Structure 1
């Protein structure tokens, strides 16, 4: 399977504890950054962190813990190896697992096992996509969807810009999304008393296939993804649910939804191209790139991830396709000075079994995002799910024998495909040191057992003084 559908379980009695200790990581990271303003931008202190659940922002707790000592000792390589190697060698993780652990403040490698190996990353790919999108477009960038006058009387042209989040539900699935009905209202006002009779939709900004190479057969039908088109409503969802079925032609459906808002019948909607220099009748903008990245990481949203990879392509003057997004992402990573040995992405979501990344690249991305001079990347931290509290980690780290001691202390991106399990993020160890980690197993046979095994490794790192 190509999805990361969480297993639902009760967590009564745990959340109160988690919402206190979750602040520890945010305040530990405070010592990494220069000044409170940066921390506020990160959303890591003062209750600014946003947790998302099924498209709804959940208010986080206020800061209640003291910041860590900036002189907290760095764990030794031998100490970390002694703590992690037995847990990384368990049969639940299969015969092949790679690892990288880095001290966030210094960039020093604390532990590694085949750190440059080309591994199937699954959804940990989204960390790389997030970094590339933020670096290429900037945190404040918004994707525009425009409408222009058509060549024929009564014709209006909906010009796709690559925004998959356009809202049609009463409450949009994506926070801050632009609304189709708002766009239609603008067009009606621009036309005055003239009633539109035809809607053309221009999707020429994208090229190539709408499904990625190496995607599983259920990638666009199982509720975790959609055929990639440059205009969609609600990520192609038919219902306001995370794993809702998606429309088989999301661009056509979006155009028909826009036509309906204008009072134009569905049979008067067709694909086409906008005339050169046509008069603009209206436009709307997506939420800022920083917010889209945050939501994409929290909820592991595959459609949003692949849409953002195409924004990287457009920013780097590459074709807005799977191939163009992958090439542009590599170019941005190289420009940032990140290690691309083992890089072989073919999509931005991690859906593809053909994707390859190294654990060293993942920890390098996390360490760079913590630098005071990389404010454009700080949203990566506020977007990471928190153990036993938010996003794709909300139902993990819940029990003592499943890494529960690290509840609230681990922020990480999960990755799951059949036979592949990965976890990459940041953790505060027992001495208050902030560490970035990536653990990647590509020959697992039981996903549930592999998930628990990875959580135990992360919990051991959180408990480690390791001198």
Structure 2
């Protein structure tokens, strides 16, 4: 079963990416993804208070190609008839299959320019991460961080690692950069514990993951998903987004114990088990995650399923719901409903990895439109986390925006979604007249992965090529 791909995030890695493509797992090499994660730098575009920025402004903030053209000051408005005419040919591509849903909006006015089955529930694949990103940014400030604590255990020589839902806590050894930029480090946590213990030897590390509840895998996840290169079981304590070691390709079969083992190693060796922290255990050390806006960008840029699921649970915690798959889905649904975005009742996870996920296609474009407005400006990291066509993230690949669709390179910023039978994309683009458009397309009965992704690229490229008047 095909699963969402992850790609590098800077042009400097392009040559490395091409060299590693042949050793990929679902098309992506371990070294390639590790280098992508290590090289990530957040964009952190400021929130606007007036008109939304054009794609070019966002690209500029991301150190985009210098040839990127800027939108005109007052470009003409496309017409619905013009957009429909531009999309008619690409929509007829048999590689899209029999079920295509989508919308196109003018970003400046919010005018609907195209609608096809937008109220129908479709399988979103990884475009669902737009919804998780919007929800977590709605309930946390961009600068908020998640903490991981170590407290004294009930017995002498025992310490308890209390997972707080930090997905990128790093097990990288001292002197080695963490896999994820800005990540808290187990080595720092261990140093603080040693200082607090005044030389007392740690013989036992207990891992308390009670911040999260329910099963570690969602309904609709395939057994091969956990562990894999793109997913692990979801636990409150983990290191390096569910890996045993920072440079591993395949994620851990027991991410909570992997976190405990990393702490035990940093403390000089101790046995590790699962358990609970005593209610009155003294705090021996604490570290804090990267800020929420950075975690969102990391999740979006490489389409990281594990980070997405942990962030969805953080939405559940913030809204006083069980931090489980079901609780997280309900929390995301409720938070977005407060923002006027209806995602229906068909979401079962926060990443889009489940084949059971269903949402109205309108929720995707609606989320992007909300993030452009001043009323929901706190959602802005969602936009700066979108990949740039032909430049970074999941839109940098050998078959993306190539051939006739190459005209869209640098003109599109979007989130992709790919599962077996599903190809989708939602984002922003600048048309031939310099008008900023918001779009979403999902083909959830696509006959094949590669050709259907190209067909979706062609839909988007048709809008870039068109003045659509």
Q: Place the TM-score, normalised by the shorter chain, in its bin.
A: 0.7 to 0.9
Residue number in structure 2 paired with 1:352: 354
Residue number in structure 2 paired with 1:54: none
What is the CA-CA distance between 1:359 and the residue it aligns to?
Answer: 1.9
Give the length in aligned residue pairs: 434
Moved more, 112-121 or 66-75: 66-75
> Is the contact between residue 80 and residue 113 of structure 2 (CA under 8 Å) also seen in structure 1?
yes
Residue number in structure 2 paired with 1:195: 201
2:64 and 2:140 mapped to 1: Cα distance? 31
Unaligned runs of 5+ in 1: 16-25, 50-59
Go from structure 1 to structure 2 and tell me whether the alpha carbon gap of 1:39 and 1:161 turns closer, same or farther (over 3 Å shift). Answer: farther
What is the CA-CA distance between 1:339 and the residue it aligns to?
Answer: 2.8
Structure 1 position 244 matched with structure 2 position 249: yes
What is the CA-CA distance between 1:11 and the residue it aligns to?
Answer: 7.0
**TM-score of the pair, normalised by structure 1:** 0.87
What is the CA-CA distance between 1:35 and the residue it aligns to?
Answer: 6.7
2:150 and 2:93 mapped to 1: Cα distance? 57
Go from structure 1 to structure 2 and tell me whether the alpha carbon gap of 1:107 and 1:390 turns closer, same or farther (over 3 Å shift). Answer: same
Unaligned runs of 5+ in 2: 19-42
> Is the contact between residue 346 and residue 352 of structure 1 (CA under 8 Å) also seen in structure 2?
yes
Residue number in structure 2 paired with 1:113: 116
1:3 and 1:111 mapped to 2: Cα distance? 29
1:41-190 matches, within 5 Å, as 44=57, 47-49=60-62, 60-61=63-64, 67-169=70-172, 170-190=176-196
Structure 1 position 315 matched with structure 2 position 318: yes
What is the CA-CA distance between 1:44 and the residue it aligns to?
Answer: 4.5
1:358-369 matches, within 5 Å, as 358-369=360-371
Residue number in structure 2 paired with 1:264: 269
2:59 and 2:211 mapped to 1: Cα distance? 41
1:153 and 1:43 mapped to 2: Cα distance? 59
Secondary structure at the aligned position of 2:332 is classed as helix
Residue number in structure 2 paired with 1:338: 341
Go from structure 1 to structure 2 and tell me whether the alpha carbon gap of 1:351 and 1:46 turns closer, same or farther (over 3 Å shift). Answer: closer
**Match for 2:435 among 429, 433, 436?**
433
1:136 and 1:94 mapped to 2: Cα distance? 38
Secondary structure at the aligned position of 1:437 is classed as strand
**TM-score of the pair, normalised by structure 2:** 0.87
2:389 and 2:345 mapped to 1: Cα distance? 28
What is the CA-CA distance between 1:322 and the residue it aligns to?
Answer: 0.2
Moved beyond 6 Å, runs of 4+: 62-66
1:377 and 1:147 mapped to 2: Cα distance? 32
2:68 and 2:98 mapped to 1: Cα distance? 40
1:192 and 1:238 mapped to 2: Cα distance? 29
Residue number in structure 1 paired with 2:38: none
| Residues 269-299 of structure 1: per-residue CA shift (max 9 Å, x gap) | 2111111132111100110110010011110
